[in-house]
Amino acid sequence: MPPPRRNANAQQPVRRPRVAGLRRPTAPNTTPPSEPERVSGQLPVTGDAVDSGPVDSVETEVVAPEVNGVEPVQREFPKVFPDRAPEPEPEADVEPDAEPEPAKQRRPLGERLAPAGRALARLRPRTVLGPIVMILVAAVLTAAGFLFRGQAGLVLDGGSAANTALTDTGATTDVITQVTRDMETVSSYKYTDLAGAQKAGQAVSTGGFLDDYNKLFEQVKAQAPAQKAVVTGQVAKIGVRQLQGDNAELLVFVTQTTTRADNNASNSVGLVYTVDATRSGGKWLISKLTPR
């Protein structure tokens, strides 16, 4: 890339007046010696403008003027003003306004206010009002964004979707399988091994139901040995009504068959429970049993 620039030296006089105006003292004289120096390649990299390269490059001041050069540009602004005209144009719109505004304070005269008002009217829509409208629109969009997020959250967590019964087939199967086993465990015992039955029942119970179960089993321990009772609970039907994380509510239909060896009697009864289950350590446990 650098070689083409060197070849373009012939064109540099055309550019020079613009930049040379800014750095008159050094630029014209140093231009020829600067050519070899530029081999370092620093200038094309650091300086944005292609023109500034050859002009700036006094051996030692190669880097520093680049940076400091910003100030001189502004100081000598008026001289180059014609060239710069396209840039300040938007600012030029403000000029008539900026003058009348102080005028308002210094001389509060009606005749001064009219052009000021006109200028303000011109100023606001283009400059101040623009950003304000943008910020307002941004605020509205942000509010709408939060609304949409809220709606999304509502759909996912607050509505019917929060209940993953049947929608999460894996978790549904899991809770059904385990609570079926839990219910059959707590509704079954043999008079020959009541301690074992109670231990098994306690293992699948938690919270309030654990106390209930222990109380119930005291009755069993009082009666079962004399009756020589063998009780088997079997889940006939089970459905998950509510499943949310580690909590579930199920409707369980149980057939409980009791066989008594003391009088060789056997009967079975239907029991329907609403079961609250809690998952703890990956295992679903019965936390509440409501007879229906």
Residues 92-131 that bind other proteins (CB under 8 A): 92, 94-95, 98-99, 102, 127-128, 130-131
To the nearest 10 degrees (0 to 180), the angle between helices 89-98 and 110-126 is 150
Tell whether residue 57 is a contact of other proteins (CB under 8 A). no
Helix (H, G, I), strand (E, B) or coil at 259: strand
**Quick one: which of 128, 70, 71, 69 has its CA closest to 97?**
128
Instruction: Evaluate whether 277 touches 179 at the Cβ level (below 8 Å).
Output: yes
Tokens 């006939």 -> residue = 236
Closest to other proteins by CB, 46 vs 127, is 127
Closest to other proteins by CB, 50 vs 236, is 236
| Least distance (Å) between residue 154 CB and other proteins | 9
| Least distance (Å) between residue 50 CB and other proteins | 26
CA distances from residue 195 to 200, 217, 225 in whole angstroms, order as listed: 9, 10, 12
Stretch that binds other proteins, among 1-9, 47-55, 192-200, 255-263 (CB under 8 A): 255-263
What would you measure as the largest C-alpha separation in the chain, in angstroms? 128
With vertex at residue 241, the alpha carbon angle to CA 235 and CA 247, rounded to the nearest 5 degrees, is: 95
| Least distance (Å) between residue 88 CB and other proteins | 8
Stretch that binds other proteins, among 2-10, 33-41, 150-158, 187-195 (CB under 8 A): 150-158
- Interface residues with other proteins (CB under 8 A) are 90-92, 94-95, 98-99, 102, 127-128, 130-132, 134-135, 137-142, 144-149, 151-152, 155-156, 159-161, 163-168, 236-241, 250-251, 253-257, 267-272, 274, 292
